[in-house]
Amino acid sequence: SSAGKSFRATLFPGHGIGPEISAAVVEILEASKVPITWEEHIISVDNVKPGQDIVSREALDSVLKNGYALKGPMATPIGKGYRSLNLTLRKELGLYANVRPCKSIPGVNTAYQDVDVVTVRENTEGEYSGLEHEVAPGVVESLKVITKSASLKVAEYAFAYARANKRKMVTAVHKASVMKMSDGLFLSCAQQVAKNYPDIHYEEMLIDNAASYLVSNPGRMDVMVMPNLYGDIVSDLCAGLIGGLGLTPSGNMGKGCMMAEAVHGTAPDIQGMDMANPTALLMSALMMLRSMDLHDTADKIAKATYSVLKEAKYTTKDIGGNSSCSDYTKAIIDRIDI
């Protein structure tokens, strides 16, 4: 346990509604007496030029040194030559696995009641290699890169996660019927790791079948591990099953550091209006607390949040409620049993 320990964590408030929801989450964590000192870094996109590094060396070093970061939504400037801020952080910090648990939340109205799935996504390569070129006029190639080392790492993460969280099954999601070599390599790595986890049931499923299965039988899926782009798609699909990106947490795992983040957008249309939903960022922060072994506090905050969501009296507009971000935050704090 982490009793008596204290932590430093980097805080990237982000853009749009980012600062508001970050403030709400920090408030909830402080009310819970979480022993975290925050190191805030503003990543500004004002006045940046194409090709320029937007994320500073100091910001990256802060995460590497502290080992923990909490990140609000960020908007990369649109246009040629701007490198995605999200992808830059994942790459520069070596965040090789992206974990997104999706569990149905009582009180949030969706078509499903029994969703409890976790997407573990390879976070650095695949279709996100950034390697593209025009072969001839009107003919473009993009490279999907799959490596044995990254595939083994993410598979190992998925199985270790399954064991630590008392999950029963890991499903490798792929399209090796078509991408025989790249997805084939990914699968063979998953198979190799599976051998070391005889306590976890291992299955494989084609990405198209998985998409169909998840909308018809989500209750029977458990932990899923997959290459980058499939993870991007499947994790958003799963988020949809439980009520959307405003509710679903995301943790990016690296060697010696993790970055928890809200993966929804910056919602500039409601910026500064005290209307944003901080739940996704809060749930992500709880993943960070669990990485710190602060399970008790994470459990208490989760319990308070679920109780507020279930009562549906203080919820925000995006999920059908009427409350402001600050009233929702206050309602959660009032119910935390410290």
The residues that touch its own copies, with contacts defined as CB under 8 A, are: 80, 84, 87, 110-112, 127-128, 130, 132-135, 137-149, 175, 177-185, 207-209, 211-216, 229, 232-237, 239-241, 243-245
Indicate whether 84 belongs to the interface with ligand IPM (CB under 6 A): yes
Q: Which residues have C-beta within 8 Å of that of residue 87, sequence separation ≥ 6?
A: 128
Contact between 233 and ligand IPM (CB under 6 A)? no
Nearer to ligand IPM, 194 or 205 (CB): 205
Residue among 54 and 200 whose Cβ is closer to its own copies: 54
Q: Which does 133 bind (CB under 5 to 8 A by kind): its own copies, ligand IPM, none?
A: its own copies
Beta carbon nearer to ligand IPM, 42 or 178: 178
Instruction: Write the interaction track for ligand IPM spanning residues 146-185; mark x where CB under 6 A is met and - where it is not.
Output: -------------------------------xx-------
Cα torsion angle, 172, 175, 180, 185, sign: negative
With tokens 């008392």, the residue in question is 166
How crowded is the C-beta side of 61, counted as CA atoms within 13 Å?
Answer: 3
Q: Beta strand pairing status for 7-12 and 223-226? A: unpaired
d(CA 211, CA 230): 10
| Shortest Å, Cβ 87 to ligand IPM | 5
Residues forming a β-bridge with 97: 122, 253
Assess 129 for contact with ligand IPM (CB under 6 A).
no
Span near ligand IPM by CB under 6 A; candidates 57-65, 79-87, 267-275, 301-309: 79-87
Positive or negative, the CA dihedral 324, 325, 328, 330 is: negative
The C-alpha angle with vertex 98 and arms to 280 and 187, in degrees rounded to 5, equals 140
Choosing among ligand IPM, its own copies, none, which partner's interface includes residue 211 (Cβ < 5 to 8 Å by kind)? Answer: its own copies
Cα–Cα distance measured from residue 97 to residue 309, given in angstroms and rounded to the nearest whole number: 29
What, of ligand IPM, its own copies, none, does residue 75 touch, CB below 5 to 8 Å by kind? none
Q: Does 232 bind ligand IPM (CB under 6 A)?
A: yes
Say which entry of its own copies, ligand IPM, none residue 213 contacts (CB below 5 to 8 A, set by partner kind). Answer: its own copies
Q: Which of 53, 114, 208, 293 binds ligand IPM (CB under 6 A)?
A: 208
Residue 122 interacting with ligand IPM (CB under 6 A): no
Contacts of 243 (CB under 8 A, 6+ apart): 105, 108, 109, 110, 319
Q: Which of 182, 186, 153, 150 is nearest to 171 (CA)?
A: 186
Burial status of residue 188 (CB atoms within 10 A of its CB: 0-12, 13-18, 19 or more): middle
Rounded Cα–Cα distance for residues 262 and 260 (Å): 7
Please, what is the minimum distance in Å from the beta carbon of residue 115 to ligand IPM? 18
For residue 20, the minimal CB distance to its own copies (Å) is 22
Q: What is the binding site for ligand IPM (CB under 6 A)? A: 84, 86-87, 177-178, 208, 232, 263
